[in-house]
C-alpha cells in the first residue's frame, strides 16, 4: 500500500454538547484510510466511533485538528463547501439504512446522483448499474417497505456506490441485520474495497465481521488504542502484522 | 427528482394533504368571491356611466353617483353648446322614485329619462320590444330580472310611478343596479314628468366633443362658463360612483377585508401543514444533506411541495368559485371572474404558499446532518 491515503486526519479533538453536558468525544485522533482496503473501526459503545466517522465524512467539523480528503483540505470550509465535498467524495451507509420510504430502490439511488446535478439519463444508467452490483437487478421498482432489511441495506450500499466515491463510510451497517444478511453486506463492502481507488471504513461491534477486514482500528474513550493490518489477503487463516500493531495510548 | 420527492412527500400523508388543500381552497374561494363581488359590484355601479356616450359630464355641484344627484336648472345646456369644441350636450334625468305594483305595494326604483335619438344613453341588451317603442304613450323599459320586484309579467304590463301610468314596451336583460333598485328607462320628457321636474330640468348633461377637440381644454372652458356646477370626466364620474357606493357604505372595505382575511387564514393553514410535513420528513432531509445535497436543493423540495399544493388547491378552489360565479349571475350581487382576476388569484395563491414555506425552510436550515446516525 504505497498509494497516497484517501482520507487523512491529524490530531482530531471533538467536543460535543454544551455547558455541563459537554463531552470530549475524540481526544486527539490521527489516522489515514488507504485505497483498496476495508478498515473496521471497533470499540465499545460511546467510545467515539460515530463521531470519528462523522468527521471523516465531513458531516461534523472537528474542534481541533485537520482533515484532508482526496487531497482536499477541509480547513475553513462552510457547511455548503463540506456538502460539496461529501457529494463528490463520500458515500455513507447507515445502521438504519435511511432510505426514502416514498421512493423505490432505483429512485433512492438516483437521488444521490441527482443532488450532484447529473442528467436524468445518466442517473438511471448509473443507479441501475449500482443496484446490479449489489445483486438487486430484479428489485429496481421495489419500495423500501416491501424489502427485507438485508435488501434495504444493499440499496443503501448501492446508493453510496453509485457516485463512485473516494471513500465509503458505514456506521454499524450490519447491526440491524441477521447474520446471513450481515455477512452478505460485509462481503459486498469488502468487494467494493478491492477497487484500488477507494477506501472503505465500517464501524462494527460484530466479531464475525473480522474475516472481511484488511485492517482493524480499535478506539476507546476517544483515543485509538490499536491499529492492526492483515499480512496477506486471501488467506483462509486471518493473521495480522503484529509488528505494526501500535499502542497509541499517550 | 425534486418534483418527484415533493409529490411523494405530499401524497404520503393524505390527511395532511387534504387539510392543506382545504386551506388553500378556502382562501381561493373566499378571495375569488370577495374580489369577484368587488369587480361585479363595481361594474354594476358604473354600468350607466360606462354605457353613456359622453367624454365629459356636467353635474350638479358635489354629485356623487348616477342616481343620487341633484337637479340642474336647464340654463347650462345653452352655455355648453356655445362653448368651442362641444358637439352635443345631451340632457338626462335620473332619480329615485316609487313604482306602485299593480297588485299593490311599492318598490323603490330609479327613473332614467333620456331620448334615444340624442345618442347619449339607450337601454342596452334589449331582449323584447325596442327603443323605438319607448316613444309610445306611457312607455318604459325594464329589466327582466326585476319582474318580481316590479310585480309585472312582461311586455304590456302596466303599473304606476308616483301617480303616472306606465306600460312596459321594452325588456332588457342584465341591467341591474348595486342598490337593488330597478332602473326604469323612459324618454326625457316622460322622465321629467314622472319625477315632477320642470320642463327644462336635467340631472346631467353628457358632453360629446367635436372631432379633434381637446378634452382638457373644453373641460376648462366649460368649468369657467358654468361656475355653479361641476364639469367632470367620465372616469371621474365612475370613480365618484364607486367611492360613494362601495366605500361610502363600507361595503368595499368589507369585501377587501374579507379577501385579506382569506389570504391570512390560507397562509396560516398551509404554513402549519407544510411545517409539520417537513418535521415528519426531517430525517430524510438530513439524509439528503448527508448525501451532500446543497441547502438550495432541500429548499427547492419544500418550495415544490408548496407550489404543487398551490396548483392543486387553486384548481379545486377555482372550480368551486366558478360555480359560485355561475350561480350569482342574475342575483342582486353578481360575482365577476375575469381572466386577469383569475391569473392574479393564481399568482396570489403561489405567493401565499411560498410565504407559508418560510417556517419549514427555517426548520431545515437549523438541521444537523449528524442526526442521520444512531447514537
Ligand atoms: N450531541 C451530543 N451531545 C453530547 N454528547 C454527545 C453527543 N453525541 C454523542 N455524545 C457523546 O459522545 C461520545 C461518543 O459518542 P459516539 O461517537 O456516538 O460513540 P459510539 O458511536 O462509539 O457509540 C459518547 O459519550 C456520547 O454520549
Ligand atoms: Mg455509534
Rounded CA-CA distance A230/A173 in Å is 21
Q: Which three cell numbers stand for residue A96?
A: 438504519
**pLDDT confidence bin for B247, thresholds 50/70/90:** confident
Closest CA to A93 of A180, A203, A2: A203
Do B87 and B210 lie in one domain? The reply is yes
Q: Which residue of chain B comes nearest to A55, CA vs CA?
A: B370
3-class secondary structure, A94: coil
Ligand 1, pocket residues at CB < 6 Å: A 16-17, 21, 23, 25, 43, 45-51; B 375
Task: Calculate how far, in angstroms, residue B267's C-alpha sits from the geometric centre of ligand 2.
Answer: 41
Instruction: Pick A94's closest partner by Cβ from B8, B295, B373.
Output: B373
**Closest ligand 1 atom, CA of A47?**
22
3-class secondary structure, B169: strand
Closest CA to B109 of B180, B18, B190: B180
Burial of B156 (0-12, 13-18, 19+ CB in 10 A): exposed
Residue B160 pLDDT exceeds 70: yes
The CA dihedral of B145, B149, B154, B156, to the nearest 10 degrees, is: -140
Domain ranges of chain A: 34-60+76-244
Task: Calculate how far, in angstroms, residue A205's C-alpha sits from the geometric centre of ligand 1.
Answer: 16
DSSP chain A: --SPPSEEEEEEEEEES-GGG-EEEEEEEEEEE-TT-EEEEE--TTSSHHHHHHHHTTSS--SEEEEEETTEE-TT--HHHHHHHHHHHEEEE-TT----TTS-HHHHHHHHHHTTT--HHHHHHHHHHHHHHTT-GGGTT--GGGS-HHHHHHHHHHHHHHT--SEEEEESTTTTS-HHHHHHHHHHHHHHHTSTT-EEEEE---GGGGGG-SEEEEEETTEEEEEEEBSSTT-SS--B-TTT------
**Candidate of A16, A94, A172, A206 to mutate for ligand 1, largest count of ligand atoms within 8 Å of Cβ:** A16
Do B38 and B74 lie in one domain? The reply is no
Rounded CA-CA distance B127/B114 in Å is 19
CB contact under 8 A, A87 and B8: no
Q: What is the pLDDT of residues A91-150, one digit of tens each?
A: 999 999 999 999 999 999 999 999 999 999 999 999 999 999 999 999 999 999 999 999
Do B187 and B103 lie in one domain? The reply is yes
Do B163 and B22 lie in one domain? The reply is no
**Closest ligand 1 atom, CA of A51?**
17
Q: What is the pLDDT of residues B19-51, one digit of tens each?
A: 999 989 988 999 999 989 888 888 888 999 999
CB contact under 8 A, A98 and B283: yes
Q: Which three cell numbers stand for residue A183?
A: 455477512
Q: Would you say B301 and B5 are in contact if contact means Cβ atoms under 8 Å apart? A: yes
Please check whether residue A94 touches B, CB under 8 A: yes
3-class secondary structure, A33: strand
Residue B208 pLDDT exceeds 50: yes
Domain assignment present for residue B19? The answer is yes
| Of A245 and B332, the one with more pLDDT | B332
Query: What φ, ψ does residue B266 adopt, rounded to 5°?
Result: -60, -45
β A199-203/A38-42 pair status: parallel
Do B81 and B136 lie in one domain? The reply is yes
**pLDDT confidence bin for A244, thresholds 50/70/90:** very low
Q: What number is the average pLDDT over the span A156-183?
A: 94
Rounded CA-CA distance B269/B289 in Å is 27
**Closest ligand 1 atom, CA of A52?**
17
**pLDDT confidence bin for B319, thresholds 50/70/90:** very high
Strand partners, A69: A7, A72
The predicted pLDDT at position B329 comes to 83
Q: What is the pLDDT of residues B51-103, one digit of tens each?
A: 999 999 999 998 888 887 788 887 888 889 999 999 999 999 999 999 998 88
Residue A245 pLDDT exceeds 50: no
Here the ipTM equals: 0.90
Q: Which of A53, A84, A111, A130 to mutate to test the interface with B (most CBs of B within 10 A)?
A: A111
Please check whether residue A72 touches B, CB under 8 A: no
Rounded CA-CA distance B130/B44 in Å is 23
Please check whether residue A171 touches B, CB under 8 A: yes
Rounded CA-CA distance A156/A95 in Å is 10
Query: What φ, ψ does residue B90 adopt, rounded to 5°?
Result: -100, 120
The predicted pLDDT at position B368 comes to 87
Q: Which residue of chain A comes nearest to B295, CA vs CA?
A: A80
For residue A16, which ligand has an atom nearest its CA?
1
Residue B195 pLDDT exceeds 50: yes
The predicted pLDDT at position A232 comes to 55
End of a domain among B227, B259, B283?
A: B227
Do B114 and B144 lie in one domain? The reply is yes
CB contact under 8 A, A172 and B374: yes
**Could you give the number of structural domains in chain B?**
2
Do B89 and B38 lie in one domain? The reply is no
Which residues in chain B have their CB less than 8 angstroms from residue A54's CB?
370, 373
Q: Which three cell numbers stand for residue A186?
A: 460485509
The predicted pLDDT at position B248 comes to 81
- Model pTM score: 0.82
* CA angle, B152 then B158 then B159, to 5°: 85
Please check whether residue A141 touches B, CB under 8 A: no
Per DSSP (E only), the strands in B114-227 are 126-129, 139-143, 158-161, 164-172, 183-186, 204-209
The predicted pLDDT at position A120 comes to 96
Q: What number is the average pLDDT over the span B155-164?
A: 89
CB contact under 8 A, B293 and A87: yes
The predicted pLDDT at position A247 comes to 42
Q: What number is the average pLDDT over the span A58-65?
A: 94
Domain assignment present for residue B223? The answer is yes
Q: Which three cell numbers stand for residue B160?
A: 304606476
3-class secondary structure, A29: strand
Do B209 and B325 lie in one domain? The reply is no
Do B277 and B346 lie in one domain? The reply is yes
Which residues in chain B have their CB less than 8 angstroms from residue A96's CB?
374
Task: Calculate how far, in angstroms, residue A50's C-alpha sits from the geometric centre of ligand 1.
Answer: 7
**pLDDT confidence bin for A186, thresholds 50/70/90:** very high
CB contact under 8 A, B291 and A115: yes
In what helix (H) or strand (E) does residue B208 lie, and over which residues does it extend? Answer: strand B204-209
Do B272 and B357 lie in one domain? The reply is yes
Task: Calculate how far, in angstroms, residue B289's C-alpha sits from the geometric centre of ligand 1.
Answer: 20
Closest CA to A187 of A198, A197, A176, A202: A202
| Of A230 and B140, the one with more pLDDT | B140
Which residues in chain B have their CB less than 8 angstroms from residue A90's CB?
292
Q: Which residue of chain A comes nearest to B369, CA vs CA?
A: A59
CB contact under 8 A, A111 and B288: yes
Domain assignment present for residue B287? The answer is yes
Which residues in chain A have their CB less than 8 angstroms from residue B283's CB?
98
3-class secondary structure, B247: helix
CB contact under 8 A, B12 and A101: yes
Residues near ligand 2 ion, CB 5 Å cutoff: A 50
Which residues in chain A have their CB less than 8 angstroms from residue B16's CB?
none
CB contact under 8 A, A87 and B291: yes
The predicted pLDDT at position B154 comes to 85
**Closest ligand 1 atom, CA of A21?**
4
The predicted pLDDT at position A243 comes to 37
Instruction: Pick B291's closest partner by Cβ from A96, A101, A112.
Output: A112
Q: Which residue's alpha carbon is nearest to atom 27 within ligand 1? A: A46
End of a domain among B164, B193, B227?
A: B227
**Domain around B293:** 2-44+250-374
DSSP code at position B243: I
CB contact under 8 A, B292 and A83: yes
Architecture of domain A34-60+76-244: 3-Layer(aba) Sandwich (3.40)
Rounded CA-CA distance A131/A159 in Å is 8
Do B269 and B345 lie in one domain? The reply is yes
Q: What number is the average pLDDT over the span A219-235?
A: 81
Do B215 and B93 lie in one domain? The reply is yes
Distance from CA of B35 to the nearest CA of A (A): 40
Amino acid at each position: 500500500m504505497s498509494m497516497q491515503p484517501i482520507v487523512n486526519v491529524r490530531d482530531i479533538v471533538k467536543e460535543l454538547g454544551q455547558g455541563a453536558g459537554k463531552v470530549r468525544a475524540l481526544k486527539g485522533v490521527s489516522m489515514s484510510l488507504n485505497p483498496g482496503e476495508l478498515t473496521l473501526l471497533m470499540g465499545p459503545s460511546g467510545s467515539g466511533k460515530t463521531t470519528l466517522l462523522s468527521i471523516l465524512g465531513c458531516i461534523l467539523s472537528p474542534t481541533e485538528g485537520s482533515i484532508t480528503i482526496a487531497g482536499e483540505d477541509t480547513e475553513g470550509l462552510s457547511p455548503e463547501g463540506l456538502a460539496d465535498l461529501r457529494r463528490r467524495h463520500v458515500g455513507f451507509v447507515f445502521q438504519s439504512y435511511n432510505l426514502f420510504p416514498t421512493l423505490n430502490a432505483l429512485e433512492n439511488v438516483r437521488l444521490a446522483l441527482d443532488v450532484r446535478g447529473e442528467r436524468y439519463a445518466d442517473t438511471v444508467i448509473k443507479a441501475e448499474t449500482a443496484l446490479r452490483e449489489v445483486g438487486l437487478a430484479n428489485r429496481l421498482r421495489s419500495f423500501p417497505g416491501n424489502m427485507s432489511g438485508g435488501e434495504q441495506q444493499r440499496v443503501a450500499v448501492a446508493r453510496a456506490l453509485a457516485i463512485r466515491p473516494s471513500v465509503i463510510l458505514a456506521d454499524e451497517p450490519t447491526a440491524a441485520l441477521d447474520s446471513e444478511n450481515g455477512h452478505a453486506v460485509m462481503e459486498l463492502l469488502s468487494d467494493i474495497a478491492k477497487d484500488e481507488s477507494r477506501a472503505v471504513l465500517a464501524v462494527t461491534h460484530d466479531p464475525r465481521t473480522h474475516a472481511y477486514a484488511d485492517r482493524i482500528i480499535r478506539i476507546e474513550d476517544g483515543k485509538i488504542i490499536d491499529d492492526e493490518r492483515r499480512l496477506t489477503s486471501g488467506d483462509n487463516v486471518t493473521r495480522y502484522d503484529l509488528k505494526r500493531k501500535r499502542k497509541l495510548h499517550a | 427528482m425534486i418534483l418527484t420527492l415533493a409529490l411523494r412527500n405530499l401524497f404520503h400523508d393524505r390527511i395532511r394533504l387534504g387539510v392543506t388543500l382545504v386551506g388553500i381552497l378556502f382562501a381561493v374561494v373566499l378571495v375569488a368571491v370577495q374580489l369577484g363581488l368587488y369587480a361585479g359590484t363595481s361594474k354594476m355601479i358604473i354600468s350607466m356611466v360606462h354605457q353613456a356616450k359622453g367624454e365629459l359630464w356636467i353635474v350638479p355641484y358635489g354629485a356623487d353617483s348616477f342616481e343620487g344627484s341633484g337637479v340642474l336648472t336647464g340654463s347650462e345646456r345653452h352655455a355648453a353648446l356655445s362653448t368651442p369644441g362641444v358637439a352635443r350636450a345631451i340632457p338626462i334625468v335620473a332619480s329615485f322614485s316609487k313604482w306602485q305594483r299593480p297588485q299593490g305595494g311599492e318598490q323603490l326604483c330609479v327613473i332614467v329619462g333620456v331620448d334615444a335619438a340624442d345618442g347619449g344613453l339607450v337601454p342596452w341588451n334589449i331582449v323584447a320590444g325596442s327603443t323605438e317603442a319607448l316613444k309610445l304613450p306611457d312607455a318604459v323599459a325594464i329589466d327582466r330580472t326585476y319582474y318580481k320586484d316590479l310585480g309585472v309579467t312582461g311586455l304590456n304590463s302596466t303599473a304606476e310611478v308616483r301617480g303616472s301610468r306606465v306600460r312596459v314596451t321594452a325588456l332588457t336583460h342584465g341591467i341591474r343596479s348595486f342598490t337593488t333598485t330597478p332602473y326604469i328607462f323612459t324618454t326625457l320628457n316622460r322622465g321629467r314628468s314622472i319625477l315632477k321636474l320642470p320642463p327644462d330640468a336635467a340631472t346631467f348633461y353628457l358632453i360629446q366633443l367635436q372631432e379633434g377637440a381637446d378634452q382638457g381644454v373644453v373641460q376648462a372652458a366649460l368649468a369657467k362658463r358654468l361656475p355653479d356646477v361641476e364639469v367632470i370626466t367620465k372616469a371621474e364620474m365612475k370613480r365618484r360612483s364607486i367611492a360613494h357606493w362601495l366605500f361610502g357604505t363600507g361595503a368595499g372595505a368589507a369585501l377587501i377585508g374579507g379577501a385579506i382575511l382569506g389570504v391570512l387564514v390560507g397562509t396560516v393553514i398551509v404554513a402549519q401543514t407544510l411545517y409539520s410535513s417537513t418535521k415528519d420528513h426531517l430525517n430524510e432531509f438530513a439524509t439528503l444533506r448527508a448525501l451532500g445535497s446543497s441547502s438550495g436543493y432541500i429548499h427547492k423540495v419544500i418550495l415544490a411541495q408548496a407550489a404543487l399544493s398551490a396548483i392543486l388547491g387553486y384548481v379545486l378552489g377555482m372550480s368551486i368559485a366558478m360555480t359560485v360565479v355561475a350561480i350569482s349571475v342574475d342575483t342582486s350581487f353578481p360575482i365577476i371572474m375575469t381572466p386577469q382576476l383569475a391569473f392574479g388569484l393564481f399568482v396570489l395563491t403561489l405567493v401565499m404558499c411560498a410565504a407559508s414555506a418560510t417556517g419549514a425552510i427555517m426548520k431545515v436550515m437549523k438541521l444537523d446532518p449528524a442526526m442521520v446516525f444512531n447514537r
